[in-house]
């Protein structure tokens, strides 16, 4: 099972309401701080959060059983979208076995935005999402048997599925990301009130010694040095996993659940 490698997060919605002076920073500073906070916390939280807008062109494969499972990506753009293959017939003269009502998409599927077949948008009541993976026709019809990859997305012979893929960032994550971006913005403009750990092991001033946390050690521990941010990270990724784990077994059957 393969799919396009995700090398970075999709856009996160940050809550910067608690960052004093956030709106006074230059736009370039805010963007840089937001990008860095998003990328770092996305990685530290297990690379699971964030919704990506995806448009795919399903293409059937010859095996009728392959209809029921996700196969692979054709890493080539077709009219602004990508082709997901389950047949491999590029033009409309090819038939590839029984037509199906179930389509497995790279997930998790958060919401389906639209389905367009032969230039006509399919009513949302005609399909449903199950287990955040399966797009199922529930109007008694089947998905098209053919996909013409030489046609544009909205032309006859083509059909597309546009959906949001991923897991929404929870409210606590938005606050944590906003707090982290706030301190990063301060660091970018050399604000002395920045709370990010400095690369100073200890400091003696007027006979009083202060010991600081090593930022390198924090990074190895999957932390940032900001208590409110690290508390969220400990909750959502207590074992510091680099990405979500998947458990699959042929004996595991928990039934299908409608999710959208």
Please check whether residue 174 is in contact with residue 181, taking contact to mean a CB–CB distance below 8 angstroms.
no
**Cα angle: 136, vertex 138, 141; to 5 degrees:** 95
Q: What is the pLDDT of residues 75-96, one digit of tens each?
A: 334 444 454 444 434 444 444 4
Q: How many Cβ atoms from other residues are within 10 Å of residue 175's Cβ?
A: 18
- For 33, counting Cβ atoms within 10 Å of its Cβ (0-12 exposed, 13-18 middle, 19+ buried), the class is buried
- The verdict on residue 99 lying in a domain is yes
Joined together, the tokens standing for residue 177 give: 């990301």
pTM for the whole thing?
0.72
For 21, left (φ over 0), alpha (ψ -120 to 50), or beta?
Answer: left
Question: Which alpha helices (DSSP H) does 62-122 contain, by range?
Answer: none
Query: What mean pLDDT, rounded, does the chain reach?
Result: 79
The domain of 99 spans: 50-167
Give CA–CA dist 97/116, Å, rounded.
22
Containing 178, the helix (H) or strand (E) segment is helix 171-188
Whether the per-residue pLDDT at 260 is higher than 60: the answer is yes
**Measured CA distances, 154 to 87, 150, 151 (Å):** 20, 12, 8
- The verdict on residue 239 lying in a domain is no
Q: How many domains does the chain have?
A: 1
- The verdict on residue 83 lying in a domain is yes
Kindly give the interhelix angle for 227-236 and 27-44, rounded to the nearest 10 degrees. Answer: 40
Whether the per-residue pLDDT at 112 is higher than 70: the answer is yes
Provide φ and ψ at 104, rounded to 5°.
Answer: -95, 125
Q: What is the pLDDT of residues 194-227, one digit of tens each?
A: 999 876 444 455 666 555 566 666 667 789 999 9
Q: How many Cβ atoms from other residues are within 10 Å of residue 83's Cβ?
A: 21
- The verdict on residue 110 lying in a domain is yes
Kindly give the interhelix angle for 171-188 and 27-44, rounded to the nearest 10 degrees. Answer: 130
- The verdict on residue 154 lying in a domain is yes
- The verdict on residue 10 lying in a domain is no
Neighbour-count burial for 123-152, b at 16+ CB within 10 Å, e otherwise: eeeebbbbbbbbbbbeeeeebbbbbbbebe
Determine the average pLDDT of the residues in 122-134: 95
Residue entry with tokens 């990074």: 219
| Strand 50-61, strand 81-87: pairing | parallel
Please check whether residue 157 is in contact with residue 145, taking contact to mean a CB–CB distance below 8 angstroms.
no
What pLDDT does residue 95 have?
44
Strand-pairing partners, residue 59, are 85
| Strand 81-87, strand 72-78: pairing | antiparallel
Please check whether residue 161 is in contact with residue 111, taking contact to mean a CB–CB distance below 8 angstroms.
no
- The verdict on residue 100 lying in a domain is yes
Q: Which of 10-14, 63-67, 104-108, 125-129 has the lowest mean pLDDT?
A: 63-67
Give CA–CA dist 164/53, Å, rounded.
5
> Own/partner pairs for 201-210, CB < 8 Å, 24+ apart?
none
- The verdict on residue 230 lying in a domain is no
What pLDDT does residue 76 have?
36
């Amino acid at each position: 099972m393969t799919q396009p490698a995700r090398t970075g997060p999709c856009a996160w919605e940050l809550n910067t309401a608690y960052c004093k002076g956030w709106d006074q920073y230059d736009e370039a500073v805010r963007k840089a701080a937001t990008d860095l906070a998003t990328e770092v916390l996305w990685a530290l939280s297990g690379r699971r959060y964030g919704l990506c807008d995806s448009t795919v062109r399903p293409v059937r494969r010859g095996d009728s059983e392959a209809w029921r499972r996700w196969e692979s990506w054709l890493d080539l753009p077709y009219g602004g979208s990508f082709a997901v293959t389950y047949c491999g017939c590029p033009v409309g003269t090819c038939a590839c076995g029984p037509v199906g009502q179930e389509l497995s998409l790279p997930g998790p599927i958060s919401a389906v935005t639209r389905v367009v077949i032969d230039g006509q948008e399919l009513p949302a009541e005609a399909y449903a999402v199950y287990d955040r993976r399966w797009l199922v026709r529930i109007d008694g019809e089947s998905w098209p048997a053919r996909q013409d990859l030489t046609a544009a997305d909205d032309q006859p012979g083509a059909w597309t599925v546009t959906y949001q893929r991923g897991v929404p960032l929870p409210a606590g994550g938005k606050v944590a990301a906003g707090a982290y971006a706030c301190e990063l913005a301060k660091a970018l403009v050399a604000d002395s009130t920045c709370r990010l750990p400095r690369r100073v092991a200890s400091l003696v001033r007027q006979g009083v010694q202060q010991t600081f946390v090593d930022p390198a050690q924090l990074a190895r521990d999957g932390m940032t040095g900001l208590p409110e941010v690290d508390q969220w990270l400990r909750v959502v990724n207590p074992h510091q996993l680099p990405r979500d784990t998947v458990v699959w077994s042929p004996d595991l059957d928990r039934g299908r659940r409608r999710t959208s």
